[in-house]
Structures are given as structure tokens and as C-alpha cells.
A and B are shown apart, each in its own frame.
Chain A
Amino acid sequence: MRRRNKGMYMDNQSYSISDVMELCLLAGKLMLEGGAETHRVEDTITRLAMNYRVETINVFSTPTAIIVSMREENTPSDYTKLVRIHDRSTNLQLITLVNDLSRRAGRDRLSLQEARNELLKIQKSPAVYSTLVHIIAAVLGSGCFTLMFQGSYADFFPSVLAGGVGYSLFLAFRRFVSVKFFSEVVSSFTIGLIARICVHFGFGVQLDKIIIGSVMPLVPGLLITNAIRDLMSGDLFSGLSRGAEAFLTAFAIGTGIAFVIAAG
């Protein structure tokens, strides 16, 4: 995204272009870590920078890195910086807060210092829901999805069990193992195993429905949606890499389940 500043900006404070850069990169980093689509990240960074004496700005954002190049007014050279994004999760609250801040910065004419303080506060703010609430949500989601895919009522409890255990295992593994693929394979394998054991002992009827419902919390729904969004809005690079990640996740889930099915 490239834009030229036409508006007015606040000039009553002393700050250097590198401060503006820091602010923009932190905002972009937070949004990408929350799983925002590329277009929105670039838009937020541009919107923020436009408030602070920036003449032109170019932003290139991918799921793993952001490059920003900006030029201060009345200076001949550009200033460019790169930030790497290492862990990506899904945090819609983070996206909402940062997006809100970028709009407020222009409307309420926040100074650079104020904007930075707010951003740091957002970065430090605790998660909206505790891990326990996440697991309860996964349990409810798995059970409901089993019913939605025409599972019988007898299948509700096995899928609650399998979904809860699978998702807890996924969260635990993700904390200690850096390879996401591994934790997905292990947890989907566990889900398949639990479902199979339940059906074997007459606790639940349809194996397929139980597995589909319990696997849903692991399905890369946001990734798929974002990948397609990115591709359609012309961010081909991000779209392809997000698509690859989504495919890898789906493949991992499939592998874990296939182990259980192929076992007999």
C-alpha cells in the first residue's frame, strides 16, 4: 500500500521519524499476531503514519514480516525498517483494539506519545478469556457441531469428551513445541482414538459424526477465510502463504485421523 500525505498533521511536538516508525511497526505487529488480514494491517499502518509528519509511505505486509518505508516531509531520503512476526494466533480483540486506536489517533488528534502509551497498554493487556473458558468453548462447540452434522444425541457426550481433550492437548503442545504441525497431528490422533474407544464400548453411535464435531476446534477457519480475502484483494503473496498454512493444518488433522481409521 502506498500513499501520499495530503492532510494536516500535528506539529506542536518534537519527535523523529524513527519514533513514528516504531509506533507503526508495533501496531502492525500486534495486528498480524492477532490474525488480521493483510489489507487491514497495511491500512492501519498507513492511517497511523498519516497523523505524524510523514510525506509518503509504502507498506508491504506478509504473514511473517512487515516492511515499512516512509519519508519525512522536507527530507530527501526514505527511512525503511523491517519487523519479523514469529508467532501467529487468533485474537480478534487485539485486532479490534489496534484498529480502533488507529482511527482514534486521527480523530482525537492523539500525540505520538499518547498513541504509543495506548499501544503498549494494548500489548500488555491480558487475554479476554482464560484458558479454562477456551476449553469450555471448545467442548460446547464440538458437541454442537456433532449435533449439527446430524449426529444422534448419544454422540453428544463422546464428542464433548474427545473435543475437550483434543483441544486441551493442542493448547498444551502449542505452548511447549514450536512446530504447530506436530501438535495438530497429535491432538487429532487423540480425538480419533477417544472417539473410537467410545464407540467400541457402546458409548456413542456414529464414529464419523463424533470425529467431525470434535475436530472442528482445530480446523483453520480463519486462515482459509483470510487467505481467500488476501488473494481477492490483490495481496497475492500473503494469500498464497496463508493458503499454504491452512492446507498444512488441514493436512495435519487429516493425517492424525487417517492413522486411527487405517488402524483397522
Chain B
Amino acid sequence: MLLACAVSLVASAAFSVMFNAPKKSVIPGGVVGMIAWMLYIGLPAYFHASQVFSTFVAAFVAGAICQVFARIFCMPVIVFSVSGMIPLVPGGTAYDTMRHLAEGSYNQAVQLASETFLMAGAIAFGLVLSGTFIPFFLKRLRKAR
């Protein structure tokens, strides 16, 4: 568990470096990616949630944290959200789809392809939902204070 934490943190931070993120945002970007990944593997393991649903939840929570970080560090949201989304990208299923296509087992390929699309859609939906609600919520919070 601790290892998964560390590995996903390093991986997400490495991706923010590859995307030329400002130095100050590399570690926070890694933290966002770590949280997204822990939710993504934790929800199916402990709550028997489906893969697509846990992707959605992870994307939503990561998006919300990105919004908060963007305000704390005074940087555009995209700086954090990119490295946060990278662990959720359905690279594994996309690869399996490709492999089955190359091997000629089309039925399985179609099944995997639809799963890939659903997961990509879940990331998008989670991200957009948090991008719509969280700024509204944060504005209310600031006004109340």
C-alpha cells in the first residue's frame, strides 16, 4: 500500500516534469496523481466498486483538489490536472484492445474498446463536474468567510 503510494507519486511527478510544469508545482501535481491512483485502486478493492465508477470518483476528487491547489499556488488548473489525470488514463485496457485486434480476436477487442471509451468518458465527466461545481462552492465559501 505504501509502495503504491510512493510509486504513483513519483510517476505523476515525473510526468509533470515531462510536461514542463513549473518547479513549484511538481510535488503538488504528484500528490494529486497519488490521490487519484489510490482512489482508483482502493475503491474496487475495498468497496467492490466497478472500474468505471471508481475512475469517475477518482477524477472528480482529483479535479476538486486541482481547483484548490490552483488557488493556493496561483497557477492555472491545467498545471495540476494533467499530472493528476495521467494515472487514470486507461492505458492498460487500450493496450489490451490493441493486442486483441492484432491477434485477430475481434469480439474481445470490441468489448475492451467499449470499456476503454467508458473509462475515458468517466475521467472527462468527473473532471468537468468538479470544474463546474467546485469553483462555485469555493466562491460561496469565500463569501461566507
Which of A's residues lie within 8 Å of B, judged by CB?
A: 34-37, 40, 90-96, 99-100, 127-129, 133-134, 137-138, 140-141, 144-145, 147-149, 208, 211-212, 215-217, 219, 221-222, 224-226, 228-229, 232, 250, 254, 257-258, 261-262
With beta carbons under 8 angstroms apart, the residue of A35, A40, A137, A261 that contacts B102 is A261
Say yes or no: A229-B127 contact (C-beta < 8 A), given A36-B76, A92-B25, A222-B19: yes
Q: Which of B6-14, B47-55, B134-142 contacts A (4 or more CB under 8 A)?
A: B6-14
The binding surface of chain B is classed by DSSP as helix
**Interface pairs (20), CB distance under 8 Å:** A40-B76, A92-B16, A92-B21, A94-B20, A96-B25, A128-B20, A134-B18, A137-B14, A137-B18, A140-B11, A144-B7, A144-B8, A149-B92, A212-B91, A219-B91, A221-B82, A224-B89, A226-B78, A257-B95, A258-B99
The reply to whether B19 and A215 form a contact with Cβ atoms under 8 Å apart is: no
- Contact check, B91 vs A228: say whether CB atoms are below 8 A apart: no
Task: Identify B78's interface contact among A92, A212, A228, A262, CB under 8 A.
Answer: A92
Instruction: Tell me whether chain A's interface is mostly helix, strand or loop, or mixed.
Output: helix
B85 partner residues in chain A, CB cutoff 8 A? 221, 225
Given A224-B89, A225-B82, answer yes or no on A127-B98 (Cβ-Cβ < 8 Å).
no
A40 to B75, CA, bound (A): 12
